[in-house]
Every structure is written in C-alpha cells, then in structure tokens.
Structure 1
Amino acid sequence: MKKPAFPHVEAAEQYARDVVKGKIVACKWVKLACKRHLDDLKKQRRRDFPYRFEPAKAERIIKYLQLLPHTKGKWAAKRSTVQLEPWQKFGIGIPFGWVRKKDGRRRYRTIYFRVPRKNGKSIIAGGIGLYMFTADGEFGAEVYSGATTEKQAWEVFRPAKLMVDRTPELKDAFAVEVNASNMVRLADGSRFEPVIGKPGDGSSPSCAIVDEYHEHPDSSLFDTMETGMGARDQPVMLVITTAGSNIGGPCYQLDRDCQKVLEGTVDNPELWAIIYTIDEGDDWSSESALKKANPNFDISIDGDFLRARQRDAMQSASKQATFRTKHLNEWVGAKNGWMNMLKWAACPPRKSLAELEGRKCYIALDLASKVDIAALVAVFPPTSDDPLWHVHGRYYAPESRVLEQADNNAQLYQSWHLDGVMTLTDGEVIDFEAIKEDLRTFATRFDAVQVPYDPFQAAQFAQEMLAEGITMVEVGQTVRNMSEPMKEVEKLVLERKLAHGNCPAMTWMISNVVAKIDVKDNIYPNKERAEQKIDGPVALIMAVGRAMLNEEGPDLSDFISNPVIV
C-alpha cells in the first residue's frame, strides 16, 4: 500500500472523521470543530469559497513539533521527542494548513484551544511559539508569551527555552541565542520573550500566546497584542486555557464567541476553535466524562489520578468546583458560587424596553457606595400573555476613578460604558442626579409600582423621589428580607423564566454571588473578594421580592419588609 504523502495530516483528518461518526467519544464542540473542517474541505472546490487547504503546511508544523524534546516528566528523563496524538495533530496542524486563495496567506488569525490541565498545553503553546519564532518565514518575528503574572508567562516560555537548549541542531540551524529572559535570532532580529501585562510601545507581534486566559481580569493584554499585529501579513493569536470561574471576564466572552462560530450562528472564518469538555446533561461523576473531557487520558494525564480527584470531588462539595473546572473544563461562577451559570446563560431572550412600554415593573436601587458601583434594576413580572420575567439594568460609576484605573475593574467598566450598560458620571464620586434622571424616565415610560431601596446612603435620595410622586419602599438588606426572593430568582433561572438579555454587567456580577446559608436554610447574597461586585444581583433580588409580595404567587408570609413610606 502506498504511504500517504502527508501521514500526519491523514491521521488528523482520520481523527476528525472518527469523531464525527461517533467512533471517538467527544463533546459537542469537538464534533462541531471536526465537522467544520471536513465541510470546508468540500467547500474549497467552489469558486466562491475564498480558502483552500494546503496539507503540506499543516504537515510541516506537525513535523517540526515532533523534533522537539519533552522538558519534564518520564519522557524528558528518557530524552524522548514529542509525539503528538491525533487530536493534537488536528488541533494544531489543521489551522496552519488553511490559506486564503487570493494571496496564500494564513486563514486563521486567532486559535482558541480550551483543554483541561495536564493534557499537554505547555508543549502545544511552547512548540507553536518556537515554530513562529524560527520556522514560519517571518522576517523579524516577534513572539510573546503573555500573562498577568511572571510565573504564568514563564509557563510557556520556560519549556520553549528548554527545548532549544536541549536541541543544539535547532539552535545552530536558526542561529538562536538563548538569554536569561528571551531568545533572539541575530540574523534578522527575531525574538521570543515572556511579557507580563501589556507589551511595550512599538511591539509588533507576529505571534502572541495568551496562556490561561481565564485568569485575566480584562482583555487589555489580548487587545494590545491584537492591535500590534496590524503590520504583520499573517499573525497568529494563540489562546490556550482551561475554563475558569470568571464568567464575566474576557476569556468566557471569547469562549462564547467561539461556540457561536462552531454552531454556525456567527460567521468568523479567521477564528479556529476547539473545546474539550463534557456536554450538558453528562454525569460528571462517570468515567466516560473523564475520557470525553481529557483527550490525553492515560497518556499525559494518568487515569488513576483523575479517578482519585473525581472521588474526592464526589465526597467533598468544596472540591467539586475545582475538579469540574480544572479536569472537566467546565465554567463555574464564583468558586462557591450561588448561580448555575450554564443555566443562566440558557435563559430565554428578553423583550426590549420599547416592547415593554407601559408595562408594570418594580425598580430596585442599590446605592451602597458613591465611590464604587450603583445599580438600578427594573423587573417586569409576567402577564397573562407573557410568562417571562424581564430584567433591564443600569449601572453607575465615577468617571475619574475609571479613567485613572483606580479601580481593579476599570477595564470592565469602560467596556460596559461603551456598550451603553454603564454610566460614568463626572468626578470622583457617583453623581446621584444621573440615577434620578434614569429613574424618572423609567417611572414615566412604565407602570412603576414600587421602587425598593436599601436605606444605607439613600435616605435623602428616597425623600426627593418620594416628593416627585414615586413610590419608594425601604428594604433593609437583611437575611429575612433577601432569602426568599433570592431563592425565587434561582428558581426562575432554572425554569428558564428570567429573561435577562445576557447583559454583560449583570452576568459578571451574578457569577460573583456566593450564597451564604445559615442553620435555618436561609440564604443571603455575599461575595468572596471586594472587587467581585454584586450590586446588580442585590437590586434584582429586591425587585423580585417586592413583586412577589404584590403579584399573585407563592405564600411569602415570612418575607418581612418595612411598609411603604407615605
């Protein structure tokens, strides 16, 4: 039998075919990634399809990576070179084989790789970085391993540096000079180095590797790297990460974009994505879940090790979130989070404010601090012809603190401001006049039944609004006041009756909420760290609480609140 011209590519594509046919157990996202490539192979014959697959290019990077040595563990001790598994050949090689028909440049500019821990991420990231540094043909290549901490930045750079040190042939062939904190090629000035935070002015990355993106509080590093790539013909942004706990962060947002591309609901032909995890509804405590999420099961990650971690998680609720995040690659909210964020993300679409014009609503205010965040959240209860609870929020922060980066969440607040979700008011403190104006607008456009508020910081505000005819209701943030409405919000999400519109600000804050439970099974919204804001959820809970008292619904005799101020 004649040997295939490109055996590694053939192995990669056989993997894709086996996944699509169900011969290899894989989650929905891996199946869609495989199907996308196989479908595009058929489309490339069409004149109107702007891309073609060149197997030689994919074969080349796979061969290169398999010349590199392992840097730790049993294979490093044996001085073995990297041997990529079929799933790695598919995930790494295939995107490098796709080019644009018009000029032969690479099709994929962003490669997103989400895979659980110990499945060879460092080898993948470091190897691709070295390829882009030495063998991609880019004159004056600049490769950066970017992260939020020095330790994380070196997680990619250190293995790459060791690979060069242990491969004299590679060092000599490309005239690589290995220094303490970078590698350079004197012939053309190419360099490979770790970066903490943003790269310096004038940087022009040909390849940027963002490792463990889920740990990044904002997208500043990603955005700066991407912006600097403008002068390059075919740059690569490689994001390689596990899942995390920051549902409102940039990694989760990118992850959601990747899912939409794989599903075909968003067209981004320059984004390559592959995600290894389990499917919704899978039994996370089963052995099949371990194998589905971990493509290198019993290869680079020991099956017995995973089984032991799984048993620990089954016996200890405190270990479950960590196990499911790191080893099953599932996103969770706060580490001991209240809300099931997958259920939250699956809530139905909400109606626009224009569609809700004149409808009954409850508008809650959380004005806890003038130097932090304030929240106004309007909740529209169900009607006879609409079973959903619709939620719209407005959020406020002082502009000076955001522009001066005085707040850890300044980047998030700026993006929400651009999205029209957050108002940045002039000065060092929140200008309550902006909130009053929004409240007046809501009260005019809708049937505002009540406006619950926490009396802390809000007494004068409430008196002024009361004088204008708005029904203000004082609701202290006590366990007795918050427990039942908080349980009701969770119930509405699980029943898919809360239409929140995937507002990025509310979603981020919901993911920060930790449910503090007392001996009587009462719950109360809390947070783990000061920067994890929960003002929006607190206002949501208060608004739902007042609606529960005034609308037909469950018996809430235990829900105690002060009477309406008259």
Structure 2
Amino acid sequence: MTQHLTDIAAYIDAVVTGKRPACKWERLAVERHLKDLDRQGDADFPYVFDEAEGQRIINFGELFPHVKGKWAAQVGKENRIKLEPWQKFNFAMIFGWVHKDTGFRRFRIVYLCVPRKNAKSVKAAIIGLYMMVEDSEYGAEVYCGATTEKQAWEVFRPAKKMAEKQPAFRRQYGVNAHAKRMEADVYGAKRLRNGEQRRPDGSRFEPVIGKPGDGASPSCAILDEVHEHQDDVLYDTMLTGMGAREQPLLLMITTAGSNIAGPCYASQKEVERMLEGEKNDTLYGMIYTIDDPENEWMTEEGLIKANPNIGISVFRDYLFDQVERAKRSPRKRSTVLTKHFNVWVTAKNAWLNMLDWAAAGDQTLSPDDFIGETATLGLDLSESDDLTAAVKCFTRNIDGLPHYYFFGRYYTTEAKVVEHDHYDGWINEGYLYACAGNHIDTEDVEEDIEADTELYSMPQAFYDPHGAADLAQRLAKYHEFEAVKVQQNYSNYSAPMRDFERLLKAGRIHHDGNPCLTWMFGNVVAQTSRDGKMMRPIKESKDTKIDGAVAALMAFIAAYQPEDDDGDLEDFLLDPIIV
C-alpha cells in the first residue's frame, strides 16, 4: 500500500472511530465510501474504486509548489505542496470511483463546503490543471466561473502561478500561460485510454465571468464561493454545455452563506439528502461543519470538526481569536459561523436560529390531518405584485402543553417568477402559486380561504392593514370572519416573537417544511426599540421577503394560549372590523 492509500485509510479510521471529531455529514460521506466498496461486484452497482486513478491526481498535485503563505518562501522540495489525509480522501473519491465497463469517472457533480483558510483554492487549482492536461479529454476546456472578475481569479490566479513555477509541467504538456488564460498542446508520455499517444489539442484553462461564450463545451467547470451566486444561470449554463463530453466534472467549492433561496443552499440540501440515503450515484459531496451551532462554535472540538486543515493552513490562535471576537460582539457571530464553521445563518442578523426552524419541519404533516379542527388565519397581502401569504395555525395539546402547527399558501405573479429563479422551482413543486399577469388576484386568495372554511372552523382572520384591508372587509362581510387588524409595531409583535422563539426551541412549533416559508422566516430581522426591550419583524433588504413569516406570526398571535408560567403576554393593539 502506498503512502497515499495509508493516509486515506488512516483518515477513514479516524472519522469512523471518532479519533477525529467529525460532523454528521463528514461521517456519512466516509461511510458512503465504505458501503460502496462493499457493493462492488453487485449487478445493480456499476462502479468500482480504482486505487491507481485515485492516487494519480494526488501525485500530480504534489509536484507543484506553494504559491502563497509561509511555504512559498521555502526553496527546493520544501515548498512543494503536501496534501493532508482529508484532502487525499476527497481527491481519491472524486477521481478514483469509475464505471466498471467504460472506466469513466462516476462523479459528474461535486460539492465541497469547506470553511475559509482551509486551502480551497489549492484544491480547486490542482483539479483545474489536472483536468486541462490529464483527463483523456481531447481539447479540454476548463473554466473558473464566477459572478465577478475578482472571484473568477481566486482559483485561476493560483493555478496560473503554480504552472509558471513548475517548468517541467509546462514542458511536458506544452503549457503557455497568457495574461488571462492558459493553453496546453498536450504531448509526451501521456496516452489516451485506447493506448494512442495524445496529440496537441489546444486544451485551455481560463476564468469566466457569467456565461462562457457561444460554442463553449466545458469539460470541467469550477464554481468558487457558490454561496455568492444569486441565481443558477451560471450553473445551468456550464452543466448544459457539458453534453458533448464523456466524463465532465462540475465542481462547486464554497463556504456557507446567508441566501437560502440561492443555488448553493439548494445544492447543499441535495447533498445532505444524498448522504442520508437518497439515491444519486453521480453526485459527490463533503461538508465540513458543526452539529450544534448553538454551542460547538465555542469549543476546540467544534473548530476541529469544521476546519480539517486546522494547525496547517489555518492556525488555532487565529480561529480562537475570531471566536472570542464573536463572543464579545453578537454582530460578528453570524460572520464567524458562516466563514469558519460553515453554518447557514440566512439573514446576516436573522431573528431565528434556522436550524431550530428546520428541526420543526415535517413534510409528512398536512392540513388534511386537521380537518374539522379550529384554525386561526394570518394574512399579509401585497398591494400589487409582491408576495402574498395566508397562513393557518392549528393548536393541539400534547402532554398537557399546547403545540402550534402552521400551513400556508403563498402567492406571487407570473411577472415576478421571471425575475426570481427560485420562485419557478417552488411553483413547479407546489409550494408557491403564480397569479396570471403582473398583479396578485385577491379573489384567488379569497376563494382558497372560502374553500378552507368548508374543512375547518376559522372564526378569525388577523391581517396587516397595509395591503389586506379590502380582503379583510370581504371576509368579515361575506364569510363571517372576525377580521382583526394587527399593526406591525413593537407593541403587537414583541411578546409574541419572544414566545414564538421560546416555543420553537422547546419543540412546540411545527410546520410542513415549505421552503418558501423557510426562506421568508430566514429573512426576518428583529428590529429592537432604543432600550432593547421590544422587537418587531423587518426585512434586511428590499430583495428579501418576509410576508409568510409575518402572516404566521399573526396567526400565532390569534392562537397563542399563555400558560401559568409563561408570564403576561403584552396587550395587543388589535382593532376588530365592525361591518
């Protein structure tokens, strides 16, 4: 067994036995590999692990010099890249698993979520260079794709410097490093899979901002810091352009972020489902994070879990200093959690811990489970074309304590769907409804509420007067609702928000996992009064929406049953409509 395989085996053993503190996702990724090794030879599993292929890229990468940091100042072999066992494991997984008949790589899409300072750019640069010259792909096209020029160069610049500092590499593959791209006329000892010697083919490696040009056929696309992408246009363009390639690779390498409506969060959720057992044989994912964001971020074990290169490219003292700063300044906490612990925090100053919200979700829950029961209704309507929300809240007693269950309908317009990529996906999956044209049709909302009254007892509708006054009037006049106006001020929301958060942590808030509502709750920022004693919900920017969360809070205000030990809920400034 070579040193690389020894290191990989030691890493696997450390994760499985607990010698290395590892989060749930890291453990599941390692266990997936072990299970797949056992499946080799099964008729329904067409892949094998080729140790030689897995080691080839590791050998390739360790031939290059460091180009920044203290190692770049060394001379001779001392400044050569030395990959750590966790890095070797990921390289070996991506390139070692192949189809048993064709020999082509198994994994076509790769998602690596690694905190800052853990050598992400080095890994991506090695993969880019390897894919340009050692992938048996004629006329390879490797792109570093990003939404800004600065980000596009974060991977390409170190790759270019690595090539420039390794003359043997340039000679072997005929590589020319220009100002904004690298070209390779691959020749020499490298042979194709059929045994023929590889001829000059004009392979190239370059940064791309936005979409690649017409006619591009990426064999490898590297998307760095995908959490900064506001839509999936670049991802889709790269992926669809790979159709003519035999074994293309789309690599996403990122830290966590705050936009859970973006393509990065969606990709992470897909990886998590795959690691938990959902079949997806051509997707590889590894996430380095912590399991308990409330507490682990302040511990050394948490630092080790989330930062696999701790003590090497990222120093303990630096990380501990960042943690101490976050302890002193709550405003810095979200930055530290996202950048150094890979925790998604949604809005930068989000009100709720969204991990608590995720834990409260249950996609098996349905309003059909509550037919015949009483519900309170919260309404937050847009004036024209923004999001509109109608959320029902049911109450059930469990072990003598009330639990609250939320189900909503969310409406937008066809015009808004064109502007927001994530809306389209939610509509296709039935989480969001699109009204024809460019205005919300409140008659659609009214008809849905009327249909609900046939199934549930719904005596009250709490609404935001800013946009829902007309609908509230109709509900009161024609459908026998008591319509109650809830101004979005400190007096009405402060106590309910505090109790909602407390009950959420206690496991007494439940919802059906609608990603549209999750996004809107993640966008809620708690604006506090000058004395810090009261709060109300606001959104962080005009591009984020909180309508569904506000509607849910209004339904909660109507349904909430204070207990003896809950304290006094503040008086609400609620004005019933008298028709």
* Fold match (TM-score > 0.5): yes
SS at 2:396's partner residue? coil
Report the CA distance shift for 1:363/1:202 in structure 2 as closer, same or farther (over 3 A): farther
Report the CA distance shift for 1:37/1:165 in structure 2 as closer, same or farther (over 3 A): same
2:146 maps to 1:150: no
Deviations 1:322-361 (A, max 9, x none): 1122112222121111111111111152521322223211
Aligned to 2:495: 484
Deviations 1:165-212 (A, max 9, x none): 222222222222322222233532422222223334443221111111
Q: Distance in 1 between matches of 2:403 and 2:217?
A: 49
Aligned to 1:178: 177
Q: Distance in 1 between matches of 2:447 and 2:475?
A: 10
The aligned length equals 556
Q: Distance in 2 between matches of 1:297 and 1:550?
A: 47
TM-score when scaled to structure 1?
0.93
Map of 1:72-87 to 2, 5 A cutoff?
Answer: 72-78=68-74, 80-87=79-86
Contact in 2 for aligned 1:249/1:508 (Cα 8 Å)? no
SS at 2:243's partner residue? helix
Report the CA distance shift for 1:328/1:388 in structure 2 as closer, same or farther (over 3 A): same
Aligned to 2:190: none
Map of 1:215-234 to 2, 5 A cutoff?
Answer: 215-234=228-247
Of 474, 493, 506, the match for 1:495: 506
Map of 1:192-341 to 2, 5 A cutoff?
Answer: 192-264=205-277, 266-280=278-292, 282-341=295-354
Displacement, 1:87? 0.8
Aligned to 1:164: 163
Report the CA distance shift for 1:384/1:115 in structure 2 as closer, same or farther (over 3 A): closer
Contact in 2 for aligned 1:107/1:270 (Cα 8 Å)? yes
Q: Distance in 1 between matches of 2:326 and 2:569?
A: 36
Q: Distance in 1 between matches of 2:388 and 2:564?
A: 30
Q: Distance in 2 between matches of 1:293 and 1:457?
A: 45
Of 322, 330, 355, the match for 1:342: 355
Map of 1:378-527 to 2, 5 A cutoff?
Answer: 378-382=392-396, 388-403=403-418, 405=419, 410-471=420-481, 472-518=483-529, 519=531, 521-527=533-539
SS at 1:204's partner residue? coil
Contact in 2 for aligned 1:248/1:507 (Cα 8 Å)? no
Aligned to 1:28: 24
Contact in 2 for aligned 1:333/1:339 (Cα 8 Å)? no
Displacement, 1:537? 0.6
Q: Distance in 1 between matches of 2:43 and 2:470?
A: 69
- When the two chains are superposed, the root-mean-square deviation of aligned CA atoms in Å is 2.3
Report the CA distance shift for 1:476/1:87 in structure 2 as closer, same or farther (over 3 A): same
Deviations 1:295-342 (A, max 9, x none): 111111122211211221122212222112211222212111111111
Report the CA distance shift for 1:70/1:278 in structure 2 as closer, same or farther (over 3 A): same
Q: Distance in 2 between matches of 1:332 and 1:231?
A: 38
Contact in 2 for aligned 1:334/1:511 (Cα 8 Å)? yes
**What amino acid is aligned across from residue 465 of structure 2 in structure 1?**
P
SS at 1:524's partner residue? strand
Q: Distance in 1 between matches of 2:464 and 2:89?
A: 55
2:61 maps to 1:62: no
Mean CA deviation greater in 255-264 or 358-367: 255-264
SS at 1:487's partner residue? helix
Deviations 1:455-498 (A, max 9, x none): 12333222233232241222221211112222232223212222
Deviations 1:510-531 (A, max 9, x none): 1111111222622111122111
Q: Distance in 1 between matches of 2:562 and 2:480?
A: 17
Contact in 2 for aligned 1:473/1:565 (Cα 8 Å)? no
Structure 1 gaps of 5+ residues are none
Displacement, 1:557? 5.0
SS at 1:339's partner residue? coil
Aligned to 1:93: 92
Deviations 1:245-288 (A, max 9, x none): 22333222222222222232x12122222111222275321222
Contact in 2 for aligned 1:548/1:556 (Cα 8 Å)? no
Mean CA deviation greater in 478-487 or 272-281: 272-281
Deviations 1:49-83 (A, max 9, x none): 32111100011011111112212112122252211
